[in-house]
Structure 1
Amino acid sequence: MIKICDLKVSELFMFKEQSYPGRCLVAYKRHVNELFELSPEERALFMEDVARAAKAMSKAFNPNKVNYGAYSDKLAHLHFHLVPKYEGGHTWGSTFEMNPQKVYLTDAEYAEKISAISLQVNTSAMV
């Protein structure tokens, strides 16, 4: 993954494998394994970070839908996958694949996507 920025209580990363153009991950900064380990205030801030990142992705890449995944059987750290889905695109209408390992970008292409998300994250403060 490539770090994009810090959010309130999380970090936003670009997923290197880009079968889903714009796919990102929001990881909680403090080491916890489950949502229920957070206080109600921490959980609200984390979900605000997830929503802010999803909104930024949506504005930057205009997907038909953003899918959310909180899979972590083997990675003991709270995080959400944010997966933009496009009608007619990879796995449209079904569950996204975790690691299809099909599409990797050039450094310039990653920089372009990261710039688009960064711009939106910085202008998309949640109210």
Structure 2
Amino acid sequence: MSDSRVSTMTFALHPRLAADTFLVGDLPLCRVLLMNDQRFPWLILVPRHAEIREIIDLTAPERSILMEEIASAATALKAATACHKLNVGALGNMVPQLHIHVVARSEGDAAWPGPVWGSGTAEAYAAPAAEQFLADLRHRLPGLRDA
């Protein structure tokens, strides 16, 4: 990152992301979160830089790292869920902080074949199911460390 940008030392997760997710852990660039909606296995990757809104705000090397981390998260999610399709996107219309959604989709899920956004009220994971899924994801994500 250029010297004019705020360092990762001031990184703070947007309150809405914090409220809607479980912490999976940290990859070299991104914090990995699990959306608290059991209808859709859904990871969110958040680069740990303050004030970043767009992928183009990252340096070229960081964009390369981001793509590898997206691929790693998608691979882990696909292995954990045996999903039919992976949806990957960086929308940011509701939360301005750069974050990338990696959503496992299956034919017949609650929103199939439409998008998951705006598809009704989230159904929170029960505590044991969340902990089991988090443990599985942590096992499948190489290079993941505690946040």
Structure 1: 5+ residue stretches without partners: none
Q: Percent identity?
A: 20
**Could you tell me how far apart the structure 2 residues matched to 1:93 and 1:60 are?**
21
- Which of 15, 23, 27 matches 1:3? 23
- Which of 80, 89, 94 matches 1:60? 80
Report the structure number with the largest CA radius of gyration. 2
- In the TM superposition, residue 123 of structure 1 has moved relative to its aligned partner by 8.0
Give the alignment's TM-score, normalised by structure 1.
0.88
- Which of 21, 29, 37 matches 1:17? 37
Amino acid at match of 1:49: E
Q: Any runs of at least 4 consecutive aligned residues in structure 1 with deviations exceeding 6 A, and if so which?
A: none
**Could you tell me how far apart the structure 2 residues matched to 1:62 and 1:123 are?**
22
Structure 2: 5+ residue stretches without partners: 1-20
- Which of 107, 123, 138 matches 1:103? 123
1:116 corresponding residue in structure 2: 136
**Could you tell me how far apart the structure 1 residues matched to 2:85 and 2:70 are?**
15
- Which of 24, 40, 45 matches 1:26? 45
Query: RMSD between aligned alpha carbons?
Result: 1.8
Q: Work out the number of aligned pairs and report it.
A: 123
The CA deviation string for residues 15-35 of structure 1, in whole angstroms up to 9 with x for no partner, is 012221x21111111121111
Confirm or deny: 8 A CA contact 2:23 2:33 kept in the other structure.
Answer: yes
Confirm or deny: 8 A CA contact 1:17 1:99 kept in the other structure.
Answer: no
Give the alignment's TM-score, normalised by structure 2.
0.77
